[in-house]
Structure 1
């Protein structure tokens, strides 16, 4: 019985981190989705929600206005969340012929502000972005080439992380490349169950009414679009840049993202039924099993420890796990070996996943107001 339980845990973990990604790669190769691309220059509104001092807004607005796109077809709509007094005055000074600024004195969270902004948008396409990241001049055109396909409702850009100096950054970088490889294959084989909040476009006609209180608007919105029958694409040549932070920052960001996944299940438990949503099986492969992974790892460790008392070959799984976790601990102390960093990153990400349900349960009504991370792949 213990051997069956250990084998089941190992099989689920193997499918989570290797089987599902390989399945997407095989499907992308042997059964790719139609890849229709065409030059398309529809009217676009870029929407942006900022929280905190408004000074960084000027650079971001300048970045958006400098995109390689006809000026008469691109406008910018900004919401400043929790902005009043002198900050509101500074933000309103940034308004211009192509820029509108809305200031909200009470801090309500990003999704509440997005809901307000989208009610003002009449243009055919909405460009979503975050404050921190720098967008490539040709990114919007590249996104729209893929959005031109009539069955595509949203397209995510690619977030490029420039190497930082924090300890463990190499492991985080490897994880990020692994994530982008999965997303490319998901897109090529059908749809991505989430987008990069730093850069994506969506057809206005497909967009749902965005409710207040969401942590992961960049997962909830594409899931609603996909539920209406549209595909969600990924353009790996539409770039935005951010700085690769250290492991501590990545832990905070990942915990928030995973808590957002818990919130999605709390809002709609039916998402656990893989046949209920068009992307249901992909949600299990890319998101829900990752929430379960730390508990599978814990169960595998306990079961293998029990088997180890029987000696012989049955002690090997426990010894292998002890060796792996020792390597992860060593990687945290001496973050210069590549393999050690990868082991450390794997363990840290699973610790984040273990804490995510408790992070969300601590204050589910205000979880969306946690300090925002600088980027989010959802």
Structure 2
């Protein structure tokens, strides 16, 4: 039996461990959730109900979008006497507050913070003023389907469910945006499987509902309130479920820079969660810790695993023979395809592999840059409204 040099053994171990971890991150974990959903299903015992609902909408300089959003919310298929909208103006200086005050005061309340505080601070400050059974969280940009609130309320009729997430649908995506949309469909599949087997690890910030009594404190400065809140609810023993019938609509960014800025902020928020709540990374310390590793934390490690796989494969291509040379060339081809998809929009529009490769590379680059962003500025919790073409029809 031929001997293996120490160099080949070390680089081979690094290569296969990194490749194995990447395969588990993007394929193994979804398959594990699918197996759990099939072998140990946990269906939601939904039942039609119309509890009192407080909508919580935090806005900053959203004068161009707020009127349409309010009309959208006021037209939901839900009893008008059971639905109240709470608009929180976070340091608005563009007329947003005046638009909010034009709405029917019997159905729309306005809270004003003259200085910007950030979304989570506004949520935390406003929750004590709400008294409905259910709080519906939404953002100003997305259009909510008329039947969405009824679907979320029905899921919350199950006594074991503490929060219910809607589904975000991207409209009219093209080019790079179609790659993002494909990734989002993959993400939604995982959420469906997590919900079918237990709980999600996060919700769609554009549309989710929670029992007011179990939300808990929301501290200032949190970037990902749509993870903090459901994880607090899950820590109290409640399920967080996915309701695909509850739809919100958005437009996928066709400009890679816009989407990458948004993704960097989201991934920086994941690092912040680990910093502020380190027990989330300790199996057994939180009910969803293992799922967090499979769904979130390994993705933060993925770009480092990709770099390790590329570097170790390069060494093995020199030391380890033809098979490793072929694998190395395949890796280089995959990166070249991703860069072409990013640099040549026409290719991304015409060919799905280039589109997906570009979106995947962008996602992992954003994970690296998100870490740098958080280290450089751990208090980057303020946001700007992202303008999009008309979504309200």
**TM-score normalised according to structure 1 size:** 0.95
Does the alignment pair 1:320 with 2:330?
yes
Note the 1:193-342 alignment, pairs <5 A.
193-246=201-254, 247-310=256-319, 311-332=321-342, 333=344, 334-335=347-348, 336-342=350-356
C-alpha distance in 1 between matches for 2:198 and 2:270: 21
Residues 1:215 and 1:74: Cα distance change in structure 2 (over 3 Å): same
Residues 1:265 and 1:331: Cα distance change in structure 2 (over 3 Å): same
* Deviation for aligned residue 1:91: 3.3
* Deviation for aligned residue 1:370: 4.1
Instruction: List runs of 5+ in structure 1 lacking aligned partners.
Output: none
Note the 1:70-89 alignment, pairs <5 A.
70-83=79-92, 87-89=96-98
Name the stretch that deviates more: 26-35 or 14-23.
Answer: 26-35
Question: Does the 8 Å contact 2:303/2:364 carry over to 1?
Answer: yes
C-alpha distance in 2 between matches for 1:288 and 1:137: 35
Question: Does the 8 Å contact 2:61/2:95 carry over to 1?
Answer: no
Name the stretch that deviates more: 320-329 or 152-161.
Answer: 320-329
* Deviation for aligned residue 1:80: 0.6
Q: Deviation per CA, 1:103-160: give whole Å up to 9, x if none.
A: 1110111011111211101111111100011111110001111111000000000011
Q: Deviation per CA, 1:178-197: give whole Å up to 9, x if none.
A: 00100001001100000001
C-alpha distance in 2 between matches for 1:275 and 1:53: 42
Residues 1:192 and 1:371: Cα distance change in structure 2 (over 3 Å): same
Q: Deviation per CA, 1:26-71: give whole Å up to 9, x if none.
A: 2112211132111111111111001114342121111111111111
Question: Does the 8 Å contact 1:84/1:104 carry over to 2?
Answer: no
Map of 1:4 onto structure 2: 13
Q: Deviation per CA, 1:256-277: give whole Å up to 9, x if none.
A: 1100001001101221112211
Question: Does the 8 Å contact 2:167/2:247 carry over to 1?
Answer: yes
C-alpha distance in 2 between matches for 1:22 and 1:283: 15
Instruction: List runs of 5+ in structure 2 lacking aligned partners.
Output: 1-9, 389-393
Secondary structure at the aligned position of 2:65 is classed as helix
Question: Does the 8 Å contact 2:46/2:155 carry over to 1?
Answer: yes
C-alpha distance in 2 between matches for 1:324 and 1:53: 41
RMSD of the TM alignment (CA)? 1.5
Question: Does the 8 Å contact 1:36/1:148 carry over to 2?
Answer: yes
C-alpha distance in 2 between matches for 1:262 and 1:373: 23
Secondary structure at the aligned position of 2:381 is classed as helix
* Deviation for aligned residue 1:374: 7.0
* Deviation for aligned residue 1:312: 2.2
Secondary structure at the aligned position of 2:49 is classed as coil
C-alpha distance in 2 between matches for 1:341 and 1:84: 39
Q: 1:154 aligns with which of 163, 167, 171?
A: 163
Q: Deviation per CA, 1:221-252: give whole Å up to 9, x if none.
A: 00000000000000001101111112322211
Map of 1:368 onto structure 2: 381
**TM-score normalised according to structure 2 size:** 0.92
